[in-house]
Structure 1
Amino acid sequence: MRVSNFLLANSGVQNILKQQAEVLTTQDQISSGKRVSRAQDDPAGMKKILDLESVSATNDQYNKNIDTATNQLFQEEYILDSMTNLLQRARDLSIAAGNAGLNADGRSAIRFEVEQLLSGLLDLTNSVDGNGHYMFSGYATGTKPFSITNGAVNYAGDQGQRQVQIGTGLSLPISDSGYAVFLTPKNGNGTFVTAAAAGNSGNGVVTQGSVVDSAALTGDSYEIRFTAVDTYDVVNVTTGATILAAQSFTPDQSISFDGLQVEILGQPQTSDVFELDPSQSQSPLETLVNFISTLSATQSTDAEKADYQIGLGRALTDIDSAMSQISDVRAQIGSRLNFLEVQKDTNIQANIQIETTLSTVRDLDLTEAISRLSLQTATLQAAQQAYIRTTSLTLFNFLQ
């Protein structure tokens, strides 16, 4: 009998404790608003919750990366816009410098302004971001990319393009190296560049020329050599072959060969030579250095005056090439900014869906929980009353 009473009492206590635990669990759920707060609440559900929260946190980090990338690209766009304005001013000055009525003082004033533009352009190419990193040095963000020494432009960066992850398996460039932006434009007309030889004596001015048959291009260097004031030869300097011999010369008339075409204005003299070489990469800094050199040259002889006009033509063409390259980079930046906006919205929508799924797995149905708590409380009270009645039943109760 004693063993039976003990077992009965112990069973009642265990039942009460179980009911109390269920009540406390439900109360905690109502208080937190969550059905699953610990692994023991629902092991499978908790694993799914942790997985979803991890994905959501990753998407949040992607969006932080997108904000950083957006700020970086906006800053680069602002700098490139400033460069474009600066080069446009230099272009205007190259046209103004060709005014026939411009005297030495006027050229000096233009040269001074171009020197200021060169200084400003150099500063812009060495711009730093909010973290003090050089923006156009590629991966070498601690290295100042551009310098000018004795008229020579030097680039100390690399060709790296920094990227940031903005989605699962998705990265986007957030920078452009100085090499890509400033060292890829070609001088001259983009295919070949013209110049007058140093020993010329006439006032002949060779134009920048154009390509009339791309299939016939050789990539070689050429010279137009005047054997008389009205006769010239065209020689392929690379191969040594004479392409055209004893050709009659008429000022302003087109001269065409191997897919190339130029005009020579004015009147060259016997032994004058005009050179055509393949275009080379040239930075806008070098273009302004050359422009300043042209403005600084004396114009005492016909040949010097002709060189001046050729130099101005080169400056105008090279500035246009630099501006075109910068425009292309700005278009790429615009495309990246648009893509960042779309991807950020995608990440936000993904997190909204994740939050919906999380709510289904993790959050509590409050109405159901309150009903369950009411039932559990009633069950606990019943268990407690049953325990009291059971433990008070002894032989003495029946004898009374």
Structure 2
Amino acid sequence: MRISSVTMYEQSSASINRQQGDLLKIGQQLSSGRKVVNPSDNPQAASQAVGVSQSMAMSEQYGNSRVSARTSLAQSESVLNSVSDSITSAKTLLIQASSDTLSNADRESIASELKGVYQTLIGQANTADGNGRYLFGGQIDNAPPYVANEQGAMKYNGSDIVREQRIDSSRNMPVAESGRAIFQKVPSGAGYIGEAVRSDGVRNAGSVILSGPQVSDVNGEGYGDDYRITFGGDTETPTLSVQRLTQDQGWQPVPDMTDIAYTGGDAPQRLVFGGLSVSLSGASEAADEVNISQAKNAQREPDLFKAMEEAIRVLENPASSDVEKADLRNTLNTSMRDLDNALDNVLTVRASAGARLNELDVIDSIASNRMMSYTQTMSDLVDLDYVEAISEYSLRQVGMQASQQTFMNMKGMSLFDYM
């Protein structure tokens, strides 16, 4: 077979190019630290690496979302801690104001302090984060959730639906709170609250003072329903009747508790009905009422701001007559119960925020382990084995040198050397 000079040069050139290409490929792997530099190097590994890379990017995005959620929840938890302190301060002032040794001037001074706590609570309810979003407005976070209406009472203008944030592939976490759930709600076991006020909101004309209600029998018939005590008769022979609120028939008289003699006066009269016990004292007037309702019932919606507004009202006004003193005593007792329920509710909401912060820590730990798994999988797919690559690089260098030397030796061969 005859080998032409052209064939010899072509074969030598192809061998050198092939060796150079292999050497360049190993060089790229060494410089990048990856064994799959181009998808064509290993299509299957490259495809799997794209999927793992996307999963890692999503995990990082969820991590950033958890950082944002943690910041928002930590701010809410901090403010709720301050709210509980404010409620405790208000309760302390009301206990102080309940003392019979205080004068009207003393109570007015306490009212001034209570106003300061009230304003502090409003500021806490309208707290905004560093981005100008209000923490307790629910999904409506671009305006203060609590503003005063025409009568000066605080009104909630936020949303009952709270903002949520996706912190993992299968978890949407609430990262804010609704002001109504904090300041206008009570825990499920809040029990009963009594008010010496008429159903139409008008204050009683008499000086009846309510003590209680106390739970006497949770299994008693009618326990859990709302009640009201209405007064009738005349000054000489006052009477009272107890009515129970039913779902289908409205207010119905409680058996054996209709038009019974009211013997309160200076000596309290004890009444037992519906698993409850109450004591009444003071003089009654016809059409006066005492309402006994569950703290969580829609008949008497809980409202921390309203409770404080009522307490401030009676403390600012001098209590000289028996009627005014009864209004003072009843309002302070009711307000203190409202504050107790509000504090329990705030602590419950705060505990919920703390539980979500703990959940974020757990998810962070799981995500960290998941990210380590992704990193290991990605390394197995595309990362370079430097020992193997360096050995391969050295081998390709030897092959390249051998091809070049062979070409150098062959190009000088000619038939004329043997003629």
Q: How does 1:194-273 map to 2 (within 5 A)?
A: 194-197=195-198, 203-211=207-215, 212-213=217-218, 216-217=222-223, 219-227=225-233, 231-236=239-244, 238-239=250-251, 241=253, 243=255, 244-248=257-261, 249=263, 251-264=267-280, 266-269=281-284, 271=286, 273=288
The CA RMSD over aligned residues, in Å, is 2.6
Q: Which amino acid counterpart does residue 40 of structure 1 have in structure 2?
A: S
Cα offset, 1:319, TM superposition: 0.6
Secondary structure of residue in 2 paired with 1:207: strand
- Contact residue 139 and residue 163 of structure 2 kept, 8 A: yes
1:200 CA displacement: 5.0
- Asked whether the equivalents of residues 213 and 259 of structure 1 are also in contact (C-alpha less than 8 Å), the reply is yes
1:332 maps to what in 2?
Answer: 352
Instruction: Tell me which amino acid in the other structure corresponds to 2:411.
Output: T
The match for 2:152 is 151
Contact 2:192–2:213 (CA under 8 A) maintained in structure 1:
no
Q: Which position in structure 2 is the counterpart of 1:320?
A: 340
Please, which of 382, 386, 394 is the counterpart of residue 406 of structure 2?
A: 386
Q: Which whole-Å CA distance do the structure 2 matches of 1:390 and 1:77 have between them?
A: 84
Cα pair 1:202 1:303 within 8 Å, conserved: yes
Q: Deviation per CA, 1:28-79: give whole Å up to 9, x if none.
A: 2122222122212222112222221221121122111111111111111111
- How many angstroms does 1:102 deviate by? 0.5
Report the CA distance between 1:297 and its aligned residue.
3.0
Q: Is the 8 A contact 1:195 1:276 kept in 2?
A: yes
TM-score when scaled to structure 1?
0.91
Per-residue displacement from partner, 1:252-307 (whole Å, max 9, x unpaired)? 3431223433111x332463733215442222112211111121233221121111
Q: TM-score, normalised by structure 2?
A: 0.87
Cα distance in structure 1, aligned partners of 2:36 and 2:224: 75
Give the match's secondary structure for 1:245. coil
User: Identity of aligned pairs, percent?
Assistant: 26
Q: Who is 2:108 aligned against?
A: 108
Consecutive unaligned residues of structure 1, counting only runs of 5 or more, are none
Which moved further from structure 2: 94-103 or 159-168? 159-168
| 1:231 to 1:300, Cα distance in 2 relative to 1, 3 A | same
Opposite residue 72 of structure 1, the aligned amino acid is S
Compare 234-243 and 34-43 and name the one that shifted more: 234-243
Residues 159-206 of structure 1: CA deviation (Å, up to 9, x unaligned): 121122222222211111112212223899644532145575654311
Letter in 1 for 2:44: A
Instruction: Give yes or no for the alignment of 1:95 onto 2:101.
Output: no
Partner AA of 1:276 in structure 2: N
Q: Secondary structure at the match of 2:278?
A: strand
User: What's the counterpart of residue 381 of structure 2?
Assistant: 361
Distance 1:5 1:120, change over 3 A: same
Distance 2:286 2:30 in 1: 101
Aligned partner letter, 1:153? M
Tell which deviates more after alignment, 237-246 or 75-84: 237-246
Match of 2:21 in 1: 21
Q: Which moved more, 1:204-213 or 1:242-251?
A: 242-251
Work out whether residues 108 and 317 of structure 2, in 8 Å CA contact, stay in contact via their aligned partners in 1: no
- Ranges in structure 2 where 5+ consecutive residues have no aligned partner: none
Q: Which residue of 2 aligns with 1:86?
A: 86
Total equivalences in the alignment: 398
Amino acid at match of 2:304: P
Residues 89-137 of structure 1: CA deviation (Å, up to 9, x unaligned) = 1100111111111111101101111111111111111110111101111
d(CA) in 2 for partners of 1:76, 1:178:
11
Q: Which residue of 2 aligns with 1:132?
A: 132
Q: Corresponding residue for 1:182? A: 183
Q: Is residue 141 from structure 1 mapped to residue 141 from structure 2 by the alignment? A: yes
Shift of 1:23: 0.6
The residue number in structure 2 matching 1:304 is 324
The whole-number CA distance in structure 2 between the counterparts of 1:195 and 1:188 is 22
Q: Which residue of 1 aligns with 2:364?
A: 344
